[in-house]
């Protein structure tokens, strides 16, 4: 399955969710925001828990976590660590992380294993701040996208019903 086809299929599934536009958009925004957090293996759990607590759509929250993927994680994590380090520096906390010139997974793992607070504290602080900030930014965007797609789907369904009714009754267009 190609990436474009996968995107269209996911969009199709989101639009067909039987929930309000608000709940679907909130779920997508929650999932996208959680992708900034450092606890990589728990994004689904965090998104699901937040969706439950805020009464958002659970499935759309899980789909929203796919905003974080191997292509976007490096930028998201860099932003989270940079923001967290900056904020900790403002308060005089020296636990801020400075990343080496060449960063790969093994380098991050070594830093995390040897000095977990040095990288985790700024990453968590920056990640959760960006997470909640991104909710404010992405919710209206997702709301408009879902509302527009649902309206288009309803319009297409009504067009089909009208066409079938015309054929059944023998009316002219």
Predicted confidence (pLDDT) at residue 170 exceeds the cutoff of 90:
no
> What's the number of domains the chain is made of?
1
When pLDDT is cut at 50, 70 and 90, the band that residue 173 belongs to is low
What is this structure's pTM? 0.80
Q: Provide the pLDDT for residue 97.
A: 57
Q: Provide the pLDDT for residue 96.
A: 58
Length of the chain: 173
Residue 160 structure tokens: 């089909």
- Would you give the end-to-end CA distance of the chain in angstroms? 40
Residue 40 structure tokens: 């990589």
Q: Which domain holds residue 56?
A: 3-169
User: Which residue has 């728990």 as its token pair?
Assistant: 42
Q: Provide the pLDDT for residue 30.
A: 96
How many C-beta atoms surround the C-beta of residue 68 within 10 A? 20
Q: How far apart are CA 13 and CA 117, in angstroms?
A: 40
When pLDDT is cut at 50, 70 and 90, the band that residue 32 belongs to is very high
């Amino acid at each position: 399955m190609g990436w474009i086809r996968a995107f269209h299929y996911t969009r199709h599934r989101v639009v067909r969710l039987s929930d309000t536009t608000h709940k679907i958009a909130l779920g997508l925004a929650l999932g996208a925001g959680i992708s900034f957090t450092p606890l990589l293996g728990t994004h689904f759990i965090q998104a699901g828990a937040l969706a439950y607590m805020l009464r958002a759509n659970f499935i759309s929250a899980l789909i929203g976590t796919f905003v974080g993927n191997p292509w976007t994680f490096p930028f998201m994590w860099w932003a989270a660590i940079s923001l967290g380090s900056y904020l900790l520096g403002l308060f005089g906390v020296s636990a801020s992380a400075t990343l080496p010139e060449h960063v790969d997974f093994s380098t991050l793992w070594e830093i995390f294993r040897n000095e977990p607070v040095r990288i985790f504290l700024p990453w968590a602080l920056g990640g959760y701040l960006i997470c909640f900030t991104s909710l404010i930014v992405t919710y209206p965007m997702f709301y408009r996208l879902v509302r527009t797609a649902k309206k288009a789907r309803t319009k297409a369904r009504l067009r089909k019903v009208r066409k079938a009714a015309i054929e059944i009754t023998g009316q002219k267009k």
